[in-house]
Structure 1
């Protein structure tokens, strides 16, 4: 958790992400329940149900059922998109972004993200711009995409936009506004925002040191907190 924070608080590498990469580990009961859900979704998708196709694409692409099935993810995400589901376009974009089951193509990923035109897609466009996946990084464009998604209520984008404001990445640094966005993201369930807030209060980065708040945000033991406090921000 905190290793990524300590590796560079000026630009959290762990903050600029689109989705996780690991498949789920399921119990036997969970596997059976998932198999039943998939069977029902397939029946609905075969009848042209776009939301069911979207959900199947999500399951197969994320490994939620325990295994990844990218050809199936591509099939159902495309069906969902053609059926008018914006998240279908978003899921197609992620397949092209990571090269999962298709040849990796950032232009195709961007095209599908623009077709999706959702807060999640805006956040992903911010990641692409910030990381320079299509050439040179465009930090100003990244910050603007994050701002747009953050104002639409997406917690991960709220954290990303806060990180831009905190470090002055693509926008004028404004640590007061950054703290407000970090707090909002954390209250909306983004754990990375809590890590940022915890380290900011632990290290006194623009605020008085407050170990009580740091421990609350970091959700760590007192011993772990002491260890973190002794380590440099960049190590």
Structure 2
């Protein structure tokens, strides 16, 4: 997520929120001993059943972590109408932890919890509408549930509502409103909101750009355990934004993000190994991290892995495999991957040569913002290769590539006497 808002990991169990743990401690103390809690749970007390499930879900209060056992207790409490158990069990069905994954059942449970006034159920139900999981995607409905959960003080719902404003999904895009909700979530202790607030400061969205303030929030998010915050903090050290440039410190934070499961962190750590920034160059290690990130769906890592195969770095040279990864990245939306795929198709390296298809991918890469794609597409129009010759269209793409900083395009415009 080099340049994207930080998403909350899907596997985050909302029932591990500190507020719930504190409530559990208070209730256990009120009830007496853990034996008293278990006795109450077995007698049919729905709150005691939920708390017993929570013990097994997280391996706390003397219990061994056992998701299947947790699901059994949550199910018993949910059937008795306990909203916290309904939300917790819904999260297990959503992730397939302790029970078979079943998005429709997750939605049913989240709906029950939400309608009972549970803010976690509201937030989770909003997320299912946002993703179109177990129910038809409906951004407006997602916003409605996020707003209800946020209004009850749920920091996850605040962060998700901010995301919708930042993306303009279900509401008109409004960066200032996104910042307001990220700040509320961050001040309520949500690590993802802290990281996302840092992103808004870094990019000057909804407020004045301030790298130092971005670093402060990234650091808070990272220290609170958000993997994306760790990765973004590493990027700030790598580029010397808001802090003194420090490649070693960048690697340290990239590694923390990568080891915490953040795909952009894995990709970034691979990049430092491939380029010897802050660490000894090691192409095999770079490839390993690129592969982990690519397997996790990171489109940028797919491009980087394709590059390693194309150039025989850290792996045996394999143009067919390079083409496979470039195509995967292109289909995942990477403009750079589109351009790389176009080049292999144009030259017939590792794939059957197909100039018309190459031109199509160059165009998609150019329209997606890749300067190299813009330049090559301009060349194709100038020469009538794979596309109709069109000097005006060639000039338009040379200009766009030059404006994006592509030096070869600037030189071509200078050669033509165009400033």
Question: Following TM superposition, by how much is the alpha carbon of 1:224 offset from its aligned partner in structure 2, in angstroms?
Answer: 4.2
**Please, which runs of 5 or more residues in structure 2 have no aligned partner?**
5-172, 367-373, 386-407, 409-419
Which residue does the alignment assign to 2:348? 204
CA offset digits 1:71-107 (Å, max 9, x no partner): 2111211221222211111111111111111111111
Which residue does the alignment assign to 2:329? 185
Alignment counterpart, residue 225 of structure 1, candidates 358, 380, 383: 380
Separation of aligned partners in 1, 2:351 and 2:293:
27
Alignment counterpart, residue 278 of structure 2, candidates 134, 138, 142: 134
Confirm or deny that 1:152 pairs with 2:307: no
Which residue does the alignment assign to 1:12? none
**Please, which runs of 5 or more residues in structure 1 have no aligned partner?**
1-17, 21-31, 230-234
Alignment counterpart, residue 170 of structure 1, candidates 309, 314, 326: 314
CA offset digits 1:27-72 (Å, max 9, x no partner): xxxxx92112212221222222222111101111234447531121
Which residue does the alignment assign to 1:108? 249
Q: Which has the higher contact order (CA 8 A, sep 6+)?
A: 1
Separation of aligned partners in 2, 1:186 and 1:169:
21
Separation of aligned partners in 2, 1:86 and 1:71:
20
Which residue does the alignment assign to 2:215? 74
CA offset digits 1:196-226 (Å, max 9, x no partner): 1111222233444311111111117987425
Question: Following TM superposition, by how much is the alpha carbon of 1:114 offset from its aligned partner in structure 2, in angstroms?
Answer: 1.5
SS in 1 for 2:174: helix
Which residue does the alignment assign to 1:55? 196
Alignment counterpart, residue 88 of structure 1, candidates 229, 232, 243: 229
Separation of aligned partners in 2, 1:56 and 1:62:
10
Separation of aligned partners in 2, 1:161 and 1:183:
12
Give TM-score, length-normalised by structure 2: 0.45
Superposition RMSD in Å: 2.9
Figure out how many residues of one structure are paired with residues of the other and give that number: 206
Which residue does the alignment assign to 2:239? 98
> Quick one: structure 1 residues 41 and 195, their matched pair in 2 at CA, closer, same or farther if it must change by over 3 Å?
same
Separation of aligned partners in 1, 2:242 and 2:344:
40
SS in 1 for 2:241: coil
CA offset digits 1:155-180 (Å, max 9, x no partner): 10011101110111221011111111
**Structure with the greater alpha carbon radius of gyration:** 2
